[in-house]
Structure 1
Amino acid sequence: MRAGAVTVGAVHGSALVLTVAGFASTLWYGVDEPGHALAFGVLIALGELARWEAPPALGEPSGRETAPIATAGALAYALLGESAGRTTTHGVLQIIAVVVAGGLAGTVPHIARGKGPGLDHLARRILTVAFAALCFQPLYNSGELTQYLGQGPSYALYLLLLLVLTALCDAVLGALLLRARAFPRGAPRHTAGGTSGEVGGSTPLPYGPLLRDELRALVGIGSAVCATGTVMALGVAAAGLWALPVFCVPLLLTQVSFRRYAAVRTTNRQTIASLARATEIAGYTAPGHAHRVAALSAAVGRELGLSGAELTVLEYAALMHDIGQLSLVDPVPEGATALLPAEEQRRIALLGGAVVRQTGVPAAVAVVVERQADPYREQPLPARIVRTVNAYDELAGDSAGGALTALERLRLATARDHQPKVVESLARVLARGGVTPVPPG
């Protein structure tokens, strides 16, 4: 906890120092080119008004805060060297002041509705914009940048590469803050059946998988933000401030498309979650079992470095992994398929895969459901994860020793049923406190 608090305090403190310095310098020396400062400030405020929160991934407490127009506008102002052919004179500290002022103005309506952005979101914006401005403004104002690169394709490529580095800086900060926020608070808890028990010493979240998640998030709308920031800076340099609304339209349309995609994905997840509850309502499985397995499987999948698309397949398969039990005449006691003979587990898995293929989800989900009872050497990695996590949840709720006994039984079955790497990844996730399952939607 202390290490996590130090990290958060360092990031927030650095952002606060830059903010104070920016406002102090701007108030003392005045605003250079107030028209440009006002235009970019208004753009950032409007972009912050359009901010939205992407739906959280399964097992995560909240989604990502996204304000692509505000971010692109802030980065474009940081990389602005000319306007309509005339050299600009604003400096790094004024850029920070304008970005903070515009961001605060745009967050007022959100705060009034009780949905203001988190401090981490604001700190990351300030630090990344300061990084871009520090890398660009001194070089441009000294004349060295245009002397060596001119104003042609090399200059545009430099801006794009600088924005890519800025995005990487933001990803590093995001992973640091997420790791600090998720720093273990003490002994782990068991997520099934209310049983408590320690499964190992408390260890911090590994930084690598968190950074990979942040980098993968850049591939989507993050790349559009970088491209728009570059085009905005070049457009204003050539045509003046009229370029701002023109180049905002494509990014706005991209944001609308992403929001619709997120809404469709949320609807799909709700539909699959409803199907998963069918086994609970019919009395075939214990209440909450599917969501516990799905949340814990997602955490193990991240531990093993699965990508976003693979995590989605894993999540859906984990939610519907027991749906084949609906074909049974006599329910398995407490739905504990891990205690059944291998052939019976295989039959239930095949029946479940046949049902999943009728739901319209990707075929990869049905493959995971069908093969969850195979020997692990014949399974794809998502099927190995689902089988191991499902067995853990059932055994931990059934055994008197709780989590420790369940993990020991899984380790004893690593010759055929459970891959050792998956079992150890599960143990590490549990050592950090497991996850708190939240029903999708």
Structure 2
Amino acid sequence: MTLQIAVVALLAMVVGEAWRIAVPGVVRDAPLAQATAVALVVSTGWPSGEGDPNSLLGLLGPLALACLATVGVGVARRRWGSLRHDLARTVSTVVVAGVLARIGPGGARSLLERATTQEGDPAPLMALLLLVVAVVAVGVPVVARAAYEALRERGSLRATVGGHLVRHGPLALATASTAAVMALSLSDLGWPTFVLFLVPMALLQPAVARQRRIREAQRQTLFALSRLTDQAGLTAPGHAVRVARLAVPVAREAGVDDADLPDVEATALLHDVGQVGLWRPIPGGATVEISLRDQRRIAATGAAVLARTAELSRLAPLVADVGVPHHWAVERGDVAMASRVVRVISAYDDLTGTGTRLSGAHSPAEAVERILRATPYEYDPDVVDALIRHLVRTGVLGSTDLGRLRQLLPGSRAAASERAS
């Protein structure tokens, strides 16, 4: 029976590795392979349940099968670029699950020992503990990817991990629960367990892939629209993308909820679409150099364009309010933080980029200083302060620059920025 379970499990993992949820620009998941590997490594039904339940054979066997499936499919499909990451995900998932199931806290009995003896541990409790182990094992690669991304981009670890959990959490939870159920059933049902419980997940997988493709297509549409003004020569190349990449961490620094960050990114990507309606292009597309009246006209034109589309019409008010100076925003009281953030970051990129031909490009410190001199009349001081904190934390501004800029900041914000350095 052990050989039959091993063969069917290997086939299930090969199918799972070959049939990944592959979406361009999104991390590829293999829920079928993950669920099978975790179920195998935490089950008392394999190798045979006899002898020491903490035996390394119960860990090394599933690990070898999982690695064989990952490497075999990766080589056959020539996935040279992702093979290393796929193998690391497989190893980390199996090892974490196997270790947690075989090591008891503080010298107590391990989970597998308690499941084997069934002394004083009710079955529902064992099932919940098994589910916890599976959730942790499946979640480790997700958290590790998020931590690596945050370190590489010098972003917020908490926010990056939260974003990854939102995107991958539901599928990871379904994978973990399927693994736990299969582990509990394997000793009684044997190899048919994989067929019975992997079929529902196999039916779920196309729906998850389709949803991810739709979301990625919507995001790519925003990026394509943002390049419209670049291709027409109306804005500096990459201006909207640079604004979007900086606006998101600054908005997070300013206290914007993670759920609202996609709107910040979308507003940043589309904030200059209104320049397509200009009779005479702005030199370099730098709106920071033009009058408030012209800034508002560009923002209103962009909002009118977006209002004609069903999917993007909700962004029209945000784009329109990018042209509203802060002192008017205070009077209105309903200007969203997304618009205020994009207004500041767009000015910063205009001043530091190659697009500002009227006065030449500024250094980051000079750009922030010029923005500060127009704060709070033009720009929200809270957003400017968040920008400074982000630039200090990422090393763009040094202590010398901060010392000079501190004189232009209110005292409380200066202290906060100094602490961030």
SS where residue 64 of structure 1 aligns? strand
1:69 positional shift: 1.1
Pick from 121, 125, 141 the counterpart of residue 149 of structure 1.
121
Query: After alignment, is 388-397 or 162-171 more displaced?
Result: 162-171
Match of 1:115 in 2: 79
Counterpart of 2:133 in structure 1: which amino acid?
Answer: L
- TM-score between both structures, scaled by the size of structure 2: 0.76
Question: 1:35-114 residue pairs with structure 2 within 5 A?
Answer: 35-56=4-25, 63-82=26-45, 87=49, 91-114=55-78
Larger radius of gyration: 2
Does the C-alpha gap of structure 1 residues 160 and 364 become closer, same or farther in structure 2, counting only changes over 3 Å?
farther
Closer/same/farther in 2, CA of residues 226 and 75 from structure 1, 3 Å limit: same
Q: Does 1:209 align with 2:159?
A: yes
Q: Is the 8 A contact 1:349 1:372 kept in 2?
A: yes
| Mapped contact 2:34–2:138 kept (Cα < 8 A) | no
Deviation at 1:269, TM superposition (A): 3.1
Report the Cα offset of residue 321 of structure 1: 0.9
Kept in 2, the 8 Å contact 1:74–1:99? The answer is: yes
The one-letter amino acid of 1:386's match is V
Identify the residue that residue 227 of structure 1 maps to in structure 2: 177
Pair 1:344 & 2:275 matched = no
Superposed displacement of residue 172, structure 1: 4.1
- Distance 1:35-1:113 versus aligned 2 partners, 3 A rule: closer
Name 1:384's counterpart in structure 2: 340
Secondary structure, in 3 states, of the residue corresponding to 1:148? Answer: coil
Q: Are residues 337 and 429 of structure 1, via their aligned partners in 2, closer, same or farther at CA, if it must alter by over 3 Å?
A: farther
Distance 1:344 1:293 in 2: 20
Cα deviation digits, residues 210-243 of structure 1 (max 9, x gap): 3323333343311211221122223324422212
Aligned to 2:410: none
Matched-pair contact (CA < 8 Å) for 1:73–1:229: yes
Return the alpha-carbon distance in structure 2 between the equivalents of residues 300 and 73 of structure 1.
41
- Deviation digits for residues 60-116 of structure 1, max 9, x if unmatched? xxx323111111111111221247xx8466744543443343333344343354424
Native 8 Å contact 2:303 2:316 kept in 1: yes
C-alpha contact (below 8 Å) 1:41/1:99 kept by paired residues: no
2:67 and 2:91 in contact (8 A); partners too: no
Partner Cα separation in structure 1 for residue 17 and residue 125 of structure 2:
32
> Aligned partners of 2:211, 2:16: CA distance in 1, in Å?
20
Q: CA deviation at 1:306?
A: 6.2
CA distance in 2, matches of 1:99, 1:72: 13
Q: Which amino acid aligns with 1:102?
A: A
The count of residues paired between Structure 1 and Structure 2 equals 372
Higher relative contact order (CA 8 A, sep 6+): 1
Look up the equivalent residue of 2:213 and give its one-letter code. A
Residue 296 (structure 2) pairs with residue 335 (structure 1)? no
* 1:19-38 matches, cutoff 5 A: 33-38=2-7
Deviations 1:395-434 (A, max 9, x none): 112234333322222333342413234312542576379x
Residues 1:395 and 1:314: Cα distance change in structure 2 (over 3 Å): same
Distance 1:37 1:393, change over 3 A: same
Give yes or no for contact 1:78–1:92 (8 Å, CA) kept in 2. Answer: no
**3-state SS of paired residue (1:136):** helix
Q: Map residues 30-429 of structure 1 onto 2, 5 A cutoff.
A: 33-56=2-25, 63-82=26-45, 87=49, 91-116=55-80, 117-137=82-102, 139-143=110-114, 146-151=118-123, 153-179=124-150, 182=152, 204-301=154-251, 310-374=260-324, 375=326, 378=333, 379-397=335-353, 398=356, 399-416=360-377, 417-418=379-380, 419-428=383-392
Structure 1 residues 432 and 208, CA, compared in 2 at 3 Å: closer, same or farther? farther
CA shift for structure 1 position 133: 1.9
| Amino acid of the structure 2 residue aligned with 1:320 | L
User: CA RMSD of the aligned region, Å?
Assistant: 3.2
Q: 1:401 to 1:333 in 2, by over 3 A?
A: closer
State the AA in 2 paired with 1:46: V
Offset, 1:304:
6.1
Q: CA 1:368 to 1:166, structure 2 compared with 1: closer, same or farther past 3 Å?
A: same
Structure-2 change in CA distance of 1:292 and 1:225 (3 Å): same
Give the partner amino acid of 2:126.
Answer: Y
Deviation at 1:387, TM superposition (A): 1.7
Q: 1:354 to 1:267 in 2, by over 3 A?
A: same
> Letter of the aligned partner of 2:33 in structure 1?
A
Displacement after TM superposition at 1:352 (Å): 1.3
If the length of structure 1 is used for normalisation, what is the TM-score? 0.73
1:48 CA drift (Å): 1.3
Over residues 293-314 of structure 1, what are the superposed CA-to-partner deviations in whole Å (9 max), with x where a residue is unaligned?
2333345456668677534323
Structure 1 position 289, deviation (Å): 2.0
* Kept in 2: contact 1:44–1:99 (CA 8 A): no
Deviation at 1:280, TM superposition (A): 2.8
Asked if the contact 1:78/1:137 (under 8 Å) is kept, the reply is: no
Give the direction of change, closer, same or farther, for the CA distance of 1:274–1:177 in structure 2 (3 Å limit). closer
- One-letter identity of the residue aligned with 2:87: L
Unaligned runs of 5+ in 1: 1-31, 57-62, 184-203, 434-441
Separation of aligned partners in 1, 2:75 and 2:201: 25
Which structure has greater helix proportion? 2
Aligned position for 2:402:
none
Identity %: 29
For 1:131 and 1:305, the matched residues in 2 are separated by 35
Post-superposition CA distance 1:134-165 (Å, at most 9, x none):
222462443467223233x3322222222233
